[in-house]
Amino acid sequence: MKIFAYGIRDDEKPSLEDWKSAHPNIEVGYTQELLTAETATLAKGSVSAVVYQQLDYTREALTALAEVGVTNLSLRNVGTDNIDFEAAKEFNFNISNVPVYSPNAIAEHSMIQLSRLLRRTKALDAKIAKHDLRWAPTIGREMRMQTVGVIGTGNIGRVAIKILQGFGAKVVAYDKFPNAEIAEQGLYVDSLDELYAQADAVSLYVPGVPENHHMIDAAAISKMKDGVVIMNASRGNLMDIDAIIDGLNSGKISDFGMDVYEEEVGLFNEDWSGKDFPDAKIADLISRENVLVTPHTAFYTTKAVLEMVHQSMDAAVAFANGETPAIAVKY
């Protein structure tokens, strides 16, 4: 049995080698290149392909992969919104993702960033870097004094809630599909409008499906408290970034943290030092002392990377054996 993996980063190689050593009877080929119509031929002779990329899995790429006899596709990440499912269905692709690799990684990052915004660490760090060791006017707020609105109570959202409760914050939550544990705690409100009206800070943990596109827009922001703090480590398309910038300019939004961006492909995970930065909006946000930008790194921990590699490889083997892994995508 041979499996071919695309887009293998240097930080993934130890986890991949670890998996290979535990499966000596399986041949594993890999490349740092992403899956495209042109690179699909690299998987020829394999039974499954393992992938991770922000590029779309286009009809052309899936057609080329099917033409070399590979119709098992295992993603090392959660999101499947960049797959041409019409083409995948046409060629009878089996697809898996890794929906739970480390909820703690993303939840911890979002709450660390929220805490940093409340304690104004970016402004304080800038002062200290200039040897200005005065306190005022860089005064922070305590998490326990905040009402934090958590939108989405899946695996990640529930970990975030536990972290917030550890701080002593009041949590209000909203989810179209309520969780029994969260419901038992009485944390749910009946609508987003109700959450917006109560929350001093809002943090999102929902998928980037079409119905959630730009859910945080000018209308939503207008329903929030004056001086609201917004944190998004979920999906970039949840945010109308122009509305966010307008809210920051007006003071309606006091602080903003983002780990994801709707136009991040080709921008994030690139070194722009010494080059012209291509996105004026992100450059503007990075320059603000009340905004924290990270380039889609919330997931990026040693534990998460290991799980993403191991679970996707296990699923690739299961597909090759005619089995349906628990993480198979139903479409």
pLDDT in tens, 60-101: 999 999 999 999 999 999 889 899 999 999 999 999 999 999
| Residue 54: per-residue pLDDT | 82
Alpha-carbon distance 202 to 266, whole Å? 28
Q: Which residues of the chain have pLDDT under 70?
A: none
Q: Does residue 56 sit in helix, strand or coil?
A: coil
Alpha-carbon distance 110 to 119, whole Å? 14
| Residue 265: per-residue pLDDT | 86
Instruction: State the catalytic residue, choosing from 76, 109, 120, 296.
Output: 296
| Residue 50: per-residue pLDDT | 98
What CATH number was assigned to the domain covering residues 103-293?
A: 3.40.50.720
Instruction: State the catalytic residue, choosing from 109, 120, 158, 235.
Output: 235
| Residue 81: per-residue pLDDT | 84
Q: Could you name the CATH architecture of 2-101+302-320?
A: 3-Layer(aba) Sandwich (3.40)
Q: Is 235 designated active site?
A: yes
What pairs with residue 239 in β-bridges?
A: 216
DSSP 184-247: HTT-B-S-HHHHHHH-SEEEE-----GGGTT-BSHHHHHTSPTTEEEEE-S-GGGB-HHHHHHH
DSSP 238-287: GB-HHHHHHHHHHTSEEEEEES--TT-TTTTTS--TTS--S-HHHHHHHH
Which of 331, 330, 327, 321 has its CA nearest to residue 76? 327
Alpha-carbon distance 203 to 157, whole Å? 9
| Residue 151: per-residue pLDDT | 98
Q: Is 26 exposed, middle or buried (0-12, 13-18, 19+ CB in 10 A)?
A: middle
Instruction: State the catalytic residue, choosing from 12, 108, 120, 264.
Output: 264
CATH 3.40.50.720 residue spans of the chain:
2-101+302-320, 103-293
